C-alpha cells in the first residue's frame, strides 16, 4: 500500500468514476485502475463493485474509505512536522520528471519548498521514463516524478521500491533467473511485463517486444547455469499480447519456437472482458505444443478453471481460494457461500457435508460465521483450507471425467452448480 494508491482510491470513491479520478491527477485511467487493483490485492478484498455504472463501493470499500482519508491526512501532517523540524538545508535538489507534469502541481510544490528552503538550489530535468530510471539508479537524480509511481521499467530491467524498508531495488532478466535458481524452483518463470487488460495496441505491441527480448536473455542465463541442488529445473516462457489476436499469435509462435519444457499464458484476468480471456486462451493453445504443459497464470474462479481446462489448459495458479476465503467467501460443490451473511447465523449443519477437507465436517456454518464476525484468525484459516481442498477436488474431478470421456457433458452441469450463489 502506498500513498498514490490511497489517493486514487479516495478520488475514485468520491467521484464514483475511475475516469474522473484520473482526470483529477492528470494521469491515465489505466494507471488509476492498476494502482487500485494493487491496493485491493494488498488488502485481500475488492473495494469497488465494477458491475455497476457508475462504480460503487463494496462494503469493504465503504469501511476503508474513512480510514484511507485519515491515513492520507496523517501522512500529510507528518511530512509537515518533519519539514518544520529540519533546519539548515543547503545544496542542490535534482528533480527529474516526465512530460505532462507541467500540468500538475509539481511547480507549485517546488516553489513552496524553495520559499521555505531558500538555500537549496533546485535543478529540473525533463526526460523519458527510461532515462529517469537509469539516472535514478546511477544517483543522477534525487527524486523523479513519473506517471508510474511504483516501478521504473527500462530495457535492462525494473527498478522498484521495497514495500518492506523503502529501499530501491533492481531486477533484470538475469537477476530473476539467478534468484529462482537459488530458490531451487522446479519451474522458473521468464521475466516479462504484464500490460493492463485495457492497454492500447501501441503499448501492448511495445511491451510484447520487450517481453520477447527479456525471454531471450532469460534463456541464455538459464542455459549457462548449472542446476544447484542435483535436479533439473525447467524454464517456462510466458505468452503475452493483451487482447489483440495478432500479438497473441505472434507471441505464442515465438514462445513455441523455444522448445521449453512447458509454456505459460500470462496477461489475462487483468481487467479484460471474460469472453476475451477465453478467446485468447483458445487462440494461443491452438499454437502452443500439445505435448508440453500449458500453464494459465493467475486464473481464477472455479468456472474459469473449468472453461480453461476445456480449452486445453493443464496448470493454474491463483490467490482466489485464500484471498476470497479470508474475506468469508467459500466455494463449494453446490455454489458460493458468503459466510458473513445472517442466514448462516443459526445453521449448525457442516460447512460442506461431503466436502474434501477435514474442516468441512469438523465445524458448522454457524460457528464459522461467528468466527468471522468475532474477527478470529481461525475463520480465515478454516475458509482457506476449505477453498484449497475444493480447488484440488475440482481439478481431480475434471481429470477423472476427461479420462472417462464425458468431460463435455459433466462440465456444463458443474459450471452451473459452482457459480450458484447460496
Do 290 and 383 lie in a common domain? no
Backbone angles phi, psi at 242, to 5 degrees: 55, -135
Q: Tell me if 148 sits within 8 A of 136, measured CB to CB.
A: no
Instruction: Name the residue with cell 509537515.
Output: 80
Backbone angles phi, psi at 50, to 5 degrees: -85, 0
Do 156 and 199 lie in a common domain? no
- Give the per-residue pLDDT at 134: 64
Do 117 and 15 lie in a common domain? no
Do 186 and 201 lie in a common domain? yes
Parallel, antiparallel or unpaired: strands 158-161 and 168-171: antiparallel
Domains in the chain: how many in total?
4
Do 306 and 197 lie in a common domain? yes
pLDDT interval class at 149 (50, 70, 90): very low
The domain boundary, picked from 316, 351, 377, lies at 316
d(CA 172, CA 187): 18
Give the CATH number of the domain where residue 40 resides. 1.10.10.10
- Give the per-residue pLDDT at 100: 67
Do 134 and 52 lie in a common domain? no
- What three-state secondary structure class fits 350? strand
Do 34 and 132 lie in a common domain? no
For the residues 334-363, what does the mean pLDDT come to?
A: 95
The domain boundary, picked from 154, 170, 186, lies at 170
pLDDT interval class at 253 (50, 70, 90): very high
Give the CATH number of the domain where residue 111 resides. 3.40.190.10
Q: What are the C-alpha distances in Å from 39 to residues 35, 344, 378? A: 6, 30, 24
For the residues 211-230, what does the mean pLDDT come to?
A: 92
pLDDT digits (tens, 9 = 90+) for 78-97: 776 666 555 556 678 888 88
Give the CATH number of the domain where residue 250 resides. 3.20.20.105
For the residues 225-242, what does the mean pLDDT come to?
A: 92
pLDDT digits (tens, 9 = 90+) for 15-33: 999 888 888 877 888 888 8
Q: Tell me if 29 sits within 8 A of 19, measured CB to CB.
A: yes
pLDDT value at 417 more than 80: yes
Domain membership of residue 209 as a residue range:
172-316
Do 156 and 249 lie in a common domain? no
Cα R_g (the chain), whole angstroms? 24
d(CA 47, CA 6): 12
The domain boundary, picked from 170, 189, 223, lies at 170
399: which residues sit within 8 A by CB, 6+ positions away? none
- Give the per-residue pLDDT at 158: 80
Do 159 and 263 lie in a common domain? no
| Secondary element (H or E) of residue 45 | none
d(CA 295, CA 293): 6
Do 301 and 272 lie in a common domain? yes
* pLDDT greater at residue 221 or residue 124: 221
d(CA 65, CA 10): 7
Do 148 and 159 lie in a common domain? yes
264: which residues sit within 8 A by CB, 6+ positions away? 189, 190, 236, 237, 238, 239, 294, 295, 296, 297
Do 143 and 181 lie in a common domain? no
- Give the per-residue pLDDT at 198: 82
Amino acid at each position: 500500500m502506498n500513498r498514490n494508491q490511497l489517493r486514487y482510491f479516495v478520488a475514485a470513491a468520491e467521484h464514483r468514476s475511475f475516469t474522473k479520478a484520473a482526470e483529477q491527477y492528470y494521469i491515465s485511467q489505466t494507471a488509476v485502475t492498476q494502482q487500485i487493483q494493487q491496493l485491493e490485492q494488498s488488502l485481500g478484498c475488492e473495494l469497488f463493485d465494477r458491475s455497476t455504472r457508475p462504480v460503487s463501493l463494496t462494503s469493504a470499500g465503504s469501511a476503508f474509505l474513512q480510514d484511507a482519508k485519515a491515513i492520507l491526512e496523517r501522512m500529510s501532517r507528518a511530512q509537515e512536522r518533519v519539514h518544520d523540524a529540519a533546519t539548515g538545508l543547503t545544496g542542490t535538489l535534482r528533480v527529474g520528471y516526465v512530460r505532462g507534469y507541467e500540468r500538475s502541481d509539481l511547480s507549485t510544490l517546488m516553489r513552496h519548498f524553495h520559499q521555505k528552503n531558500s538555500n537549496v538550489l533546485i535543478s529540473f530535468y525533463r526526460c523519458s521514463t527510461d532515462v529517469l530510471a537509469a539516472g535514478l539508479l546511477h544517483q543522477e537524480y534525487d527524486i523523479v516524478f513519473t506517471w508510474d509511481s511504483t516501478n521504473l521499467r527500462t530495457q535492462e530491467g525494473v527498478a522498484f521500491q521495497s514495500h518492506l524498508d523503502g529501499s530501491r531495488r533492481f531486477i533484470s532478466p538475469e537477476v530473476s533467473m539467478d534468484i529462482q535458481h537459488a530458490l531451487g524452483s522446479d519451474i522458473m518463470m521468464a521475466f516479462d511485463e504484464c500490460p493492463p487488460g485495457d492497454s492500447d495496441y501501441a503499448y501492448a505491441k511495445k511491451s510484447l517486444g520487450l517481453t520477447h527480448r527479456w525471454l531471450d536473455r532469460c534463456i541464455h542465463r538459464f542455459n549457462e547455469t548449472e542446476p544447484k541442488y542435483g535436479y533439473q529445473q525447467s524454464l517456462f516462457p510466458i505468452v503475452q499480447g493483451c487482447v489483440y489476436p495478432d500479438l497473441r499469435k505472434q507471441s505464442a509462435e515465438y514462445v513455441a519456437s523455444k522448445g521449453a519444457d512447458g509454456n505459460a499464458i500470462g496477461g489475462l484476468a487483468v481487467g479484460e472482458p471474460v469472453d476475451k480471456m477465453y478467446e485468447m486462451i483458445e487462440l494461443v493453445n491452438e499454437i502452443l505444443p500439445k505435448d508440453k504443459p500449458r500453464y494459465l497464470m493467475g486464473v481464477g474462479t472455479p468456472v474459469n478453471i473449468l472453461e480453461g481446462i476445456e480449452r486445453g489448459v493443464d496448470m493454474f495458479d491463483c490467490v482466489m481460494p485464500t484471498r476470497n476465503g479470508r474475506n468469508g467467501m467459500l466455494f463449494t460443490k453446490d455454489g458460493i457461500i458468503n459466510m458473513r451473511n445472517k442466514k448462516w447465523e443459526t445453521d449448525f449443519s457442516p460447512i460442506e457435508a461431503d466436502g474434501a477437507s477435514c474442516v468441512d465436517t469438523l465445524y458448522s456454518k454457524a460457528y464459522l460465521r461467528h468466527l468471522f464476525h468475532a474477527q478470529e484468525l481461525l475463520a480465515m484459516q478454516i475458509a482457506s483450507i476449505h477453498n484449497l481442498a475444493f480447488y484440488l477436488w475440482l481439478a481431480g474431478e475434471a481429470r477423472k471425467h476427461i479420462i472417462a470421456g464425458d468431460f463435455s457433458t459433466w462440465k456444463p452441469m458443474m459450471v452451473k452448480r459452482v457459480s450458484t450463489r447460496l
